[in-house]
A and B are shown apart, each in its own frame.
Chain A
């Protein structure tokens, strides 16, 4: 296992570099949210929280403002709609004009269903791919998976991980902060 009990951990610099961060465990989403807010107020920025259910306001508490998802979906939808319209207009008026019952070649009201369907299709596909891309998924491995007990982050426990990349990081200070100020249980070290 990757967890080093504190009293056995050799405290030289190479060991320090190999640490990804420290995780603290919480029993509920509310406790995690409160801890995250406190950590942000204390000046920590490089951190992430792991929870089995989405917790409202958690990403915002870590200083994350909104997501670009609506914009991505909008762009996908507009692209899809334009594609649908252009495909039909181009083929019906230029590439293969065909007189059917004297209808105009550019009979745009009849193009609406396909324009709508392609709008939805492109918007949905770009939304899902965009979400996975921004999240860096699929991903083979992540250091957090080595943390002891983290498997409960998808079941019934809530974790806050303060990462060693944070400017305020200090192995002992951060541990004390998690244990005494945030009242996290089971503070463990995560190796890279």
Chain B
């Protein structure tokens, strides 16, 4: 491939050669405005929509019969529902990490993928939010966990991590939605001004809120966007920390551990980046967006994935060491049970997916090959799901008293509900690709205006940084 390389041998382009402000807006905007979608869009949408129908069916059956249709029991009261909740919400984290944290540290290669990943965040959080509600048994009274004036005179239990969860997840969803929409406003204005059909002009015009690109507006807009990023950055770290408190505040062996918050956050970013790669690699090929989502973007994402993967690996090592070092017989037994017990297959499959396979990312050839990168990302997604399986199931199925031991086996409805949320996620994603610009035209135009089509023009860094990073 003729990709320009930086002095350290990494791909160097953020935007393909020869792109102009006009060509960026035309290429990305016309996917929405012209509405010519390949057969693979219809195929993918069809499959996703069928799965969404399966989800509706599973939920209907669940509401009719109750949570007994799932494989949960006592002692394993948290089955697939909690595994899937943690998995989905973790996937969402990559979107905020890419759009907020990478913005604050001037990683401009993020400009071409942040819209997509923010959308992914919203849809993943929507899927995640389903599970704790459905797991309640009586989902129609879920609002009892909220503080509101009620005839019972009750307040929520503020010391409970489940109440924290409600606040963390709903704040996260709201702030992600605001961040996403604020980013969309100038792009909707572009679509309004480029569209030739009346209904498009009206709809995008409403969405753009009358945006006209005024310099005074841009000044406030940029500041607000930065402030939102500054707010979203600690927020994203707090959300998975709070999710991890659901586990670590309990005294159950394997859960009661101070490493959980950072371990969960790293795992969330790990699976989220993997999901982003699993989506953008096919999309960039099908829609011919290689000029915007460049080899540099993929390479950098693979690097981030490798680093957080190593942090997660360190987490596994620490868990095993602390299990032994604690001297506590229950903790020691848990570690033994993970590796040698009835669910040992899940533990070793997890090690294969999350620790062994991702080591391939050390190879430049793998990072530069979209197909191989896609496969590695798929392994990581499976691995992160298995991680939550080992945490939830293995810790619960054998706790302190052997008389309370049990086994867990998921039923058809467990799998159907999980597959159903995949359907919900991908249905929303396909509709997003169809009706909204999947790459931020404004931010890619910024790259073009700053001359990113030419060799790298990152921010000026002190010499010591330019040696560490790939900036000449």
Q: Do A and B interact?
A: yes
Say if the beta carbon of B157 comes within 8 Å of chain A. Answer: yes
Which of A70, A88, A139 is the one whose CB lies under 8 Å from B209?
A139
Residues of A within 8 A of B190 (CB): 52, 154-155
Q: A100-B157, A124-B175 are in contact. Are A69 and B446 (CB under 8 A)?
A: no
Contact B155 A62 (CB under 8 A): no
B residues near A73, Cβ cutoff 8 Å: 224, 227, 231
Instruction: Tell me the bound Cα distance from A117 to B235 in angstroms.
Output: 7
> What's the least CB distance linking A37 to chain B, in Å?
12
Q: Which of A28, A49, A53 contacts B446 (CB 8 A)?
A: A53
Contact with B along A67-79 (1 / 0, CB 8 A): 1011001000100
A113 touching B242, Cβ below 8 Å: yes
B217 contacts which chain A residues (CB < 8 A)? 135, 137
A153 with B213: CB separation less than 8 A: yes
The answer, yes or no, to whether A1 is at the interface (CB within 8 Å) is no
**Residues on A with beta carbons closer than 8 Å to the beta carbon of B155:** 91-92, 95-96
A107 to B157, CA, bound (A): 12
Given A54-B222, A64-B219, A114-B167, A145-B212 contact (CB < 8 Å): yes
What residue of chain A has the Cβ atom nearest to residue B163's Cβ?
Answer: A114
In the complex, B410 has a CB within 8 A of chain A: no
Residues of B within 8 Å of A29, CB to CB, are 449
Measured in the bound complex, the distance between the Cα atoms of B20 and A142 in whole Å is 28
Contact flag A114-B210 (CB < 8 Å), given A52-B445, A59-B219, A120-B171: no
* Interface membership of A127, Cβ < 8 A: yes
- A53 CB contacts on chain B under 8 angstroms: 21, 442, 445-446, 449
Q: How far is the CA of A141 from the CA of B182 in the complex (A)?
A: 20
Q: Are A67 and B168 in contact, CB atoms less than 8 angstroms apart?
A: no
B198 within 8 A of A: no
In the assembled complex, B189 has its CB within 8 A of some CB on chain A: yes
Check A55 against B215 for contact (C-beta < 8 Å): yes
Is B193 among interface residues, defined by CB-CB distance under 8 A? yes
- Whether a CB of chain B sits under 8 angstroms from the CB of A111 is yes
Q: Mark B131-164, 1 if CB is under 8 A from A, else 0.
A: 0000000000000000100000111011101011
Interface Cβ pair total, 8 Å cutoff: 183
Bound Cα distance from A107 to B215, whole angstroms: 49
Digitize A99-111: 1 where CB-to-B-CB distance is under 8 Å, 0 elsewhere.
0100100010011
A51 contacts partner chain B, Cβ-Cβ < 8 Å: yes
Alpha-carbon distance between A59 and B217 when the two chains are bound, in angstroms: 9
Chain A residue at minimal CB-CB distance from B189: A154
**Interface presence of B203 (CB below 8 A):** no
Task: Please measure, in the bound complex, the distance between the C-alpha atom of A128 and the C-alpha atom of B223, giving whole angstroms.
Answer: 10
8 Å CB contact of A127 from B20, B22, B210, B228: B228
The count of chain A contact residues (Cβ–Cβ below 8 Å) is 65
Q: How far, in Å, is B204 (CB) from chain A's closest CB? A: 10
B449 touches A100 (CB 8 A): no
Pairwise interchain contact B223-A70, C-beta atoms closer than 8 A = yes
Q: Which of B178, B212, B223 contacts A124 (CB 8 A)?
A: B178
Verify B449–A64 contact, CB threshold 8 A. Answer: no
Which bucket holds chain B's interface residue count? 35 or more
Q: How far is the CB of B150 from chain A (nearest CB, A)?
A: 11
Contact B442 A113 (CB under 8 A): no
Report the minimal beta-carbon distance from B245 to chain A, rounded to whole angstroms. Answer: 8
Q: Within 8 Å CB of A69, what residues of B?
A: 220, 223-224, 227
B472 at the interface (CB under 8 A from A): no
| B211 interface residue (CB < 8 Å to A) | yes
Closest chain-A Cβ to B182's Cβ sits at a distance in Å of 6
A151 close to chain B: CB less than 8 A: yes
Q: Is A162 an interface residue (CB 8 A)?
A: no
CA gap between A88 and B446 in the complex, in Å? 45
In Å, the complex CA distance between A142 and B193 comes to: 14
B234 within 8 A of A: yes
B397 contacts across to A, CB distance below 8 A:
none
A131 at the interface (CB under 8 A from B): yes
User: In angstroms, how far is the closest chain A Cβ from the Cβ of B291?
Assistant: 16
Also in contact, A144 and B212, with CB within 8 A (given A113-B242, A135-B220, A156-B25): yes
Which residue of B is nearest A116, CB measured? B238
> CA separation between A154 and B446, bound complex, in Å?
12
Interface residues of B in 224-257 (CB under 8 A from A): 224, 227-228, 231-232, 234-235, 238, 242, 245
What residues of A have a CB within 8 angstroms of the CB of B42 in the complex?
none
Given contacts A54-B221, A59-B218, contact A121 B171 (CB under 8 A): yes
Q: Once bound together, how far apart are the Cα atoms of A157 and B171, in whole Å?
A: 38
Q: Is B466 located at the chain interface by the 8 A CB criterion?
A: no
- Whole-angstrom distance between the Cβ of A59 and the nearest chain B Cβ: 4
Q: Contact string, A109-149, partner B, CB cutoff 8 A, digits 1/0?
A: 01101101110110111011011101101111110110000
Known pairs A53-B442, A114-B164, A137-B209; A128 contacts B224 (CB<8 A): yes
**B290 contacts partner chain A, Cβ-Cβ < 8 Å:** no
Q: Confirm or deny: B174 has a beta carbon within 8 angstroms of a beta carbon on chain A.
A: yes
B178 and A125 contacting across the interface, CB-CB below 8 Å:
yes
B163 with A96: CB separation less than 8 A? no
- Would you list the 6 A-B pairs with minimal beta carbon distance, nearest first? A156-B21, A139-B210, A138-B209, A59-B219, A151-B193, A91-B155
28 contacts between A and B (CB under 8 A): A29-B449, A52-B21, A59-B216, A69-B223, A77-B231, A87-B147, A91-B155, A91-B158, A96-B153, A111-B158, A113-B161, A113-B164, A117-B167, A117-B171, A117-B235, A117-B238, A118-B171, A123-B227, A127-B224, A135-B217, A135-B220, A139-B210, A141-B210, A153-B193, A154-B213, A155-B22, A155-B193, A155-B194
Known A50-B212, A58-B219; further 13 A-B contacts with Cβ < 8 A: A50-B214, A62-B216, A91-B158, A96-B155, A117-B167, A117-B171, A118-B167, A124-B175, A125-B174, A127-B227, A141-B210, A156-B21, A156-B445
